[in-house]
C-alpha cells in the first residue's frame, strides 16, 4: 500500500523543523533519509508514527488518513509502523525474550501485558524472531547485559513481533561499531527484501545510505532537497544536502562516512558464518 506525506510541516515555536514535505513511498521500498544535524530527520520520522503531531499537512497510508487517527485506530497504526532507535530502548532489567514479547503489547490486553503473561505461541514467535537475528542464545539474559549490536538486534526482533507494515529506524547504527553496524543494516535489508516491509531509516553516514537504500531523501533546514537513487546523488546534490561550513569549505563524502568498511579479516569471518540466520557466532 502506498504511503504518502502531503505538505507536512512541523513548527516548534517560530522554528520550522520540517517544512512542507511531500513524499510518496510505494510498499516495500528501502529509503534512507540523510542530512545534517538539525535538518529535521527525526522529527519527520516521529510524525510518521505519530509520536509527534504535524503542525499542518496530512499523512496517508492507502485509503487511511493516518494524521487524523485517534484511540484504537492510532494504536493500530503505531503497531503497524514499528520504530527502532539509536539507543535501542529495551527494558534493561528484563530478559531478552520478555523484551521481544513486549512487541506484542498492542496486540493484547493491557492486564495480560502488565502481568507479563504470555502464551506459548507468543514465546515461540519471540524465539523464532531471535533465531532469525542470530541471537537466540541470549534469550534468558537480561537485556542490559548485551552488547550494543546484540541489543539493537533484540530491538529489531521486538519490532518484528509487531508484524509491522513499515519499519522506521532513527539512526539505528549510530552507536555501533562497524561490524555490528553491518549486521544491523543487513538485518534491516533482509526484512525489507523477504517480507516486503517498507523500511525508512535516518542515517548520518552517506556511504551506508548509498549501499543499503534504493532511494535516498536528503533534507536541509526542514526541506527535502534531494529525492532519488544513490546513482543520482551527485557531488553537487551532496553539497546541497550538507552545505558548506562557515569557512566556505565544501563537504566531501569522507566527512560523512563512518563506517561500514570492515577490516578484511573481520569481514571474511563474517562471510563464512553465512546470512543473518547464522550470525550468532559473528556477533560481538
Ligand X SMILES: Nc1ncnc2c1ncn2[C@@H]1O[C@H](COP(=O)(O)OP(=O)(O)OP(=O)(O)O)[C@@H](O)[C@H]1O
Nearer of residues 85 and 118 to Mg ion, judged by Cβ = 85
Choose from ligand X, Mg ion, none: what does 134 bind? Cβ within 5-8 Å by kind: none
DSSP 223-271: EEEEEE-GGG--HHHHHHHH---TT-PPP-GGGG-------HHHHHHHH
Min CB(170)–Mg ion separation in Å = 6
The answer to whether the CB of 22 falls within 8 A of the CB of 7 is yes
Nearer of residues 101 and 184 to Mg ion, judged by Cβ = 184
Nearer of residues 43 and 98 to ligand X, judged by Cβ = 43
Choose from ligand X, Mg ion, none: what does 17 bind? Cβ within 5-8 Å by kind: ligand X
The answer to whether the CB of 172 falls within 8 A of the CB of 151 is no
- Provide the CB-side half-sphere exposure for 176 (13 A, CA): 33
Min CB(240)–ligand X separation in Å = 16
Min CB(41)–ligand X separation in Å = 3
Min CB(5)–ligand X separation in Å = 14
Nearest to 230 by CA among 242, 218, 240, 244: 218
Nearer of residues 223 and 273 to ligand X, judged by Cβ = 223
Q: What is the DSSP letter of 278?
A: G
In this structure, how many other beta carbons lie within 10 angstroms of the beta carbon of residue 228?
13
Choose from Mg ion, ligand X, none: what does 43 bind? Cβ within 5-8 Å by kind: ligand X
In this structure, how many other beta carbons lie within 10 angstroms of the beta carbon of residue 46?
18
Which residues lie near ligand X (CB under 6 A)? 12, 15, 17, 35, 37-43, 204
The answer to whether the CB of 177 falls within 8 A of the CB of 149 is yes
Choose from ligand X, Mg ion, none: what does 256 bind? Cβ within 5-8 Å by kind: none
User: Residue 257 corresponds to which cell in the numbers above?
Assistant: 562516512
Min CB(42)–Mg ion separation in Å = 3
What residues contact 30, with CB distance under 8 A and at least 6 apart?
188, 189, 192, 198, 199, 201, 212, 213, 214, 215
Nearer of residues 40 and 172 to ligand X, judged by Cβ = 40
Min CB(56)–Mg ion separation in Å = 21
Choose from ligand X, Mg ion, none: what does 161 bind? Cβ within 5-8 Å by kind: none
Which residues lie near Mg ion (CB under 5 A)? 41-42
Choose from ligand X, Mg ion, none: what does 12 bind? Cβ within 5-8 Å by kind: ligand X
Amino acid at each position: 500500500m502506498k504511503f504518502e506525506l502531503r505538505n507536512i510541516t512541523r513548527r516548534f515555536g517560530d522554528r520550522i523543523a520540517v517544512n512542507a514535505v511531500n513524499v510518496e513511498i510505494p510498499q516495500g521500498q528501502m529509503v534512507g533519509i540523510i542530512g545534517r544535524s538539525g535538518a529535521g530527520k527525526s522529527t519527520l520520522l516521529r510524525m510518521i508514527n505519530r509520536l509527534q503531531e504535524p503542525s499542518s499537512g496530512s499523512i496517508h497510508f492507502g485509503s487511511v488518513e493516518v494524521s487524523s487517527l485517534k484511540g484504537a485506530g492510532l494504536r493500530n497504526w503505531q503497531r503497524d509502523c514499528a520504530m527502532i532507535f539509536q539507543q535501542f530502548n529495551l527494558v534493561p532489567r528484563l530478559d531478552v525474550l520478555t523484551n521481544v514479547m513486549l512487541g506484542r503489547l498492542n496486540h493484547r490486553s493491557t492486564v495480560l501485558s502488565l502481568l507479563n503473561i504470555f502464551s506459548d505461541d507468543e514465546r515461540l514467535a519471540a524465539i523464532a524472531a531471535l533465531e532469525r537475528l542470530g541471537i537466540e542464545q541470549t534469550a534468558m539474559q537480561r537485556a542490559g547485559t548485551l552488547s550494543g549490536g546484540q541489543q539493537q538486534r533484540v530491538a529489531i526482533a521486538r519490532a518484528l513481533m509487531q508484524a509491522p507494515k513499515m519499519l522506521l529506524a532513527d539512526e539505528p547504527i549510530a552507536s555501533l561499531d562497524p561490524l555490528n553496524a553491518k549486521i544491523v543494516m543487513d538485518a534491516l535489508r533482509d526484512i525489507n527484501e523477504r517480507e516486503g516491509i517498507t523500511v525508512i531509516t535516518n542515517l548520518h553516514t552517506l556511504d551506508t545510505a548509498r549501499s543499503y537504500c534504493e532511494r535516498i531523501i536528503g533534507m536541509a533546514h526542514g526541506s527535502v532537497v534531494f529525492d532519488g537513487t544513490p546513482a543520482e546523488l551527485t557531488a553537487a546534490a551532496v553539497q546541497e544536502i550538507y552545505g558548506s561550513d562557515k569557512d566556505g569549505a565544501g563537504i566531501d563524502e569522507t566527512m560523512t562516512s563512518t563506517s561500514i568498511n570492515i577490516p578484511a579479516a573481520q569481514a571474511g569471518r563474517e562471510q563464512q558464518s553465512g546470512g543473518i540466520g547464522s550470525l550468532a557466532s559473528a556477533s560481538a
